[in-house]
Amino acid sequence: MLTMDQDQEQLQSLDHFLNRLDKLHSSPTVALRVMEITRDPDFQMNSVAECLELDPALSASILRLVNSSYYGLIDEVTNLRHALTYLGRRSLRLAVLSFGLVKTLVSGAPAQFHQQYWKRSLTMGAAARECAKLIDDQAVDPDTAFATGLIADLGMLAIAQLETEKYIPIAEEPDHTIDLVQRERTEFGFDHMAVSQRLMSRWQLPEDLVEAVGNHHTYLPASAPLNQIALVANLITEVIWMPVCPYMQPLQQVMIRQLDLGIDDLITLVLATKESIEEGSEIFGVQLQGEIDLESVEIQARELYKVAALDMAADLDSIEAFAEIPLQ
């Protein structure tokens, strides 16, 4: 755990790092302005439309979202102001966040990093949204969960742009676990979670989202539901894309311990995540490489469940292999 002085020193280091990023490309002015306008629950949609019309690419993304299978409209919507009538305040804010802020950083990242980033971010977003739907009390809005998963790794894009030669070999390791986080800290003095979190803070995004982004590799038993969902989404992403994944056990343990979700819920979550990834690919206009082997994932999950007569310490060890467990 960092002391107050160490924490302040890291914030200064992160701000210096992100100031370098600001020099590479302009701030997503329109997206941030829309976020500012919509902080007021009584905002005027005309003001939003006038703002969005200044950014044709962002406007086109909003139209593509409304016309996607996610909304299931019969007739195509071709007018931005008409499209905005289908989006409530929350959906509008999350759409602008996803398209305006994420694409700003993706466009500046090394080309070889794009596919890896979109595969992870769309999977994390999809898994987070479907996980939120499974929780009985709907403690987390599914669209908020999607945005959290989608932007959790923005820090990786930032580091990849500023430290390309050092970072790409680290980031291209297939295992996106706590080992990656530790290598980042050794090389740069901070990890991608901290970069993402500081970036979100500077953009004045909701505090619960900022906190979850900063802890998506951390096991925090008493933390908010969105934090737990972010960790589960991170684990799901490993399990879905890795043929024989060593993180099925910690995934099951986190789901059972923190979200009271069992083996059947896990299978349901994986199936729904695959469908949601396909929707996300359509909305963002991204073609992902590789196939998800659902049968293999289900076999691994059920086999592990059969032999899961493990004691408490072993269960915690399995979680610690993937996620940080802070000292109490």
The whole domain housing 294 covers 9-25+108-320
Distances from the Cα of 221 to the Cαs of 58, 258, 299, 307, in angstroms?
38, 7, 28, 24
- List the one residue out of 133, 312, 151 whose CA is nearest residue 225: 133
CATH code, domain carrying 299: 1.10.3210
pLDDT at 309 over 50: no
My answer on whether 100 and 150 are in the same domain is no
Residue 137 lies in a domain: yes
Residue 217 lies in a domain: yes
CA gap 259, 231 in Å, rounded: 11
My answer on whether 278 and 183 are in the same domain is yes
CA gap 143, 208 in Å, rounded: 13
My answer on whether 299 and 167 are in the same domain is yes
- Residue 324 φ/ψ, nearest 5 degrees: -70, 140
Residue 2 lies in a domain: no
CA gap 138, 8 in Å, rounded: 36
Residue 325 lies in a domain: no
My answer on whether 59 and 165 are in the same domain is no
Average of per-residue pLDDT across 67-82? 88
Prediction pTM value: 0.83
Tens of pLDDT along 178-221? 788 889 999 999 999 999 999 888 888 889 999 999 999 888 77
Tokens, residue 238: 């490993």
Residue 38 lies in a domain: yes
- What is the average pLDDT score of the chain? 83
CA gap 326, 219 in Å, rounded: 8
My answer on whether 236 and 167 are in the same domain is yes
Residue 264 lies in a domain: yes
Distances from the Cα of 301 to the Cαs of 177, 248, 277, in angstroms?
19, 7, 20
Q: How many domains does the chain have?
A: 2
- List the one residue out of 104, 100, 107, 106 whose CA is nearest residue 32: 100
Q: For the ranges 6-20, 36-50, 130-144, 292-306, which has the lowest average pLDDT?
A: 292-306
Residue 155 lies in a domain: yes
> How many helical (H) and strand (E) elements, i.e. helices and strands, does the chain have?
19, 0
Q: Is 43 strand, coil or helix?
A: coil
The last residue of one of the domains, among 73, 105, 137, is 105
DSSP class per residue in 78-121: --HHHHHTT--HHHHHHHHIIIIIIHHHHTTS-HHHHHHHHHHH
Residue 1 or residue 109, greater confidence: 109
Q: What is the pLDDT of residue 262?
A: 84
pLDDT at 13 over 70: yes
My answer on whether 42 and 56 are in the same domain is yes
Residue 35 lies in a domain: yes
My answer on whether 259 and 277 are in the same domain is yes
Split at pLDDT 50, 70, 90, the class of 321 is low
